[in-house]
């Protein structure tokens, strides 16, 4: 069964932008964070001065509500400004610096996941796990079949199955073209291992919580059987915050 690929592709513009957005922590130096209208969008401002991305571009969003949500992360910082606690800001930086000028490779990354989507690989056993996978995954495959005209083939275990080119192309047609939603869908895809879950989130078929639950059927099953450790739970919480940031962009960027 394919697993979530946690090693960024060297050609992934989002990953490259993220690698460049990890500055040393600095103390809060502003009184207030907010958003102000500019040409083509809304800029995030600190004491009425624009914030800039690691590449030196203005940190601005296409919608006021999204810019305000980003500004709220800056407003919440007390003492050191910690980017690790600002997932929406980090995603916005990645989209502005890594997606806006290179949307093609990002869309191609999502399409690559469609060829080996998590939802198409089912466990050989035990029965309870197979039933849970079917309960959470089959409705999304049914939705893809009816809403996207994309009929995917299932496999068992780790045996690779070649998906019909027609299904891949039909689902790929739903990949958004604008940089903000494209970057958010790519982030949701890589975090879950499923482009179909990301597209269902985009189209409003799944909530963020439901998509995250569906992506972690196997992991949750193993935790129930064997338990988990604190480090793994912390890491999962960090990744869920990144996923929620992607869901926020999809909700507010339109």
- Between 230-252 and 64-76, two packed helices, what is the crossing angle to 10 degrees? 150
Q: What is the pLDDT of residue 26?
A: 87
Q: End-to-end alpha-carbon separation of the chain, Å?
A: 34
DSSP conformational letter for 83: G
**Kind plus residue range of the DSSP H or E element containing 152:** none
Query: Given a cut of 80, is residue 12 above it in pLDDT?
Result: no
**pLDDT tens digits, one per residue of 60-97:** 999 999 999 999 999 999 999 999 999 999 999 999 99
Greater confidence (158 vs 34) lies with 34
Domains of the chain by range and CATH?
Answer: 103-252 (1.10.3580.10)
Q: What is the mean pLDDT of the chain?
A: 92
Q: How far apart are CA 110 and CA 8, in angstroms?
A: 13
- Judged against a pLDDT cut of 60, whether residue 254 lies above it is answered with yes
| pLDDT, mean of residues 162-179 | 98
Range from 11-25, 67-81, 176-190 carrying the lowest mean pLDDT: 11-25
pLDDT in tens, 145-164: 999 999 999 999 888 999 99
Three-state secondary structure along 125-169?
CCHHHHHHHHHHHHHHHHHHHHHCCCCCCCEECCCCCCCCHHHHH
- Residues 77, 84 contacting (CB under 8 angstroms): no
**Per-residue pLDDT tens over the stretch 227-248:** 989 999 999 999 999 999 999 9
Query: pTM to 2 decimals?
Result: 0.89
Whether 14 has a pLDDT exceeding 80, the answer reads: no
The band of 2, judged by pLDDT with boundaries at 50, 70 and 90, is: very low
């Amino acid at each position: 069964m394919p697993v979530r690929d946690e090693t960024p592709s060297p050609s992934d513009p989002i990953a490259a932008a993220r690698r460049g957005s990890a500055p040393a922590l600095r103390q809060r130096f502003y009184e207030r964070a907010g958003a102000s209208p500019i040409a083509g969008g809304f800029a995030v401002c600190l004491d009425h001065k624009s914030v800039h991305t690691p590449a030196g571009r203005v940190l601005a969003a296409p919608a006021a509500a999204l810019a305000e949500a980003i500004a709220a992360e800056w407003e919440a910082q007390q003492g050191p400004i910690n980017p690790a606690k600002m997932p929406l800001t980090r995603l916005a930086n990645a989209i502005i610096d890594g997606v806006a000028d290179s949307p093609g490779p990002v869309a191609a990354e999502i399409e690559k996941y469609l060829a080996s989507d998590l939802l198409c690989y089912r466990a050989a056993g035990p029965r309870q796990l197979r039933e849970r996978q079917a309960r959470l995954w089959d409705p999304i495959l049914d939705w893809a079949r009816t809403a996207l005209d994309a009929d995917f083939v299932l496999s068992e275990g780790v045996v690779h199955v070649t998906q019909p080119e027609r299904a891949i192309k039909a689902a790929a047609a739903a990949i958004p073209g604008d940089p903000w939603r494209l970057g958010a869908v790519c982030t949701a895809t890589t975090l879950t291992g499923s482009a179909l879950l990301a597209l269902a989130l985009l189209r409003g078929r799944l909530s963020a919580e439901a998509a995250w639950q569906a992506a972690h059927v196997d992991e949750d099953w193993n935790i129930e059987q064997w338990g988990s450790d604190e480090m793994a739970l912390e890491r999962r919480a960090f990744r869920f915050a990144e996923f929620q940031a992607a869901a926020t962009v999809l909700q507010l960027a339109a």
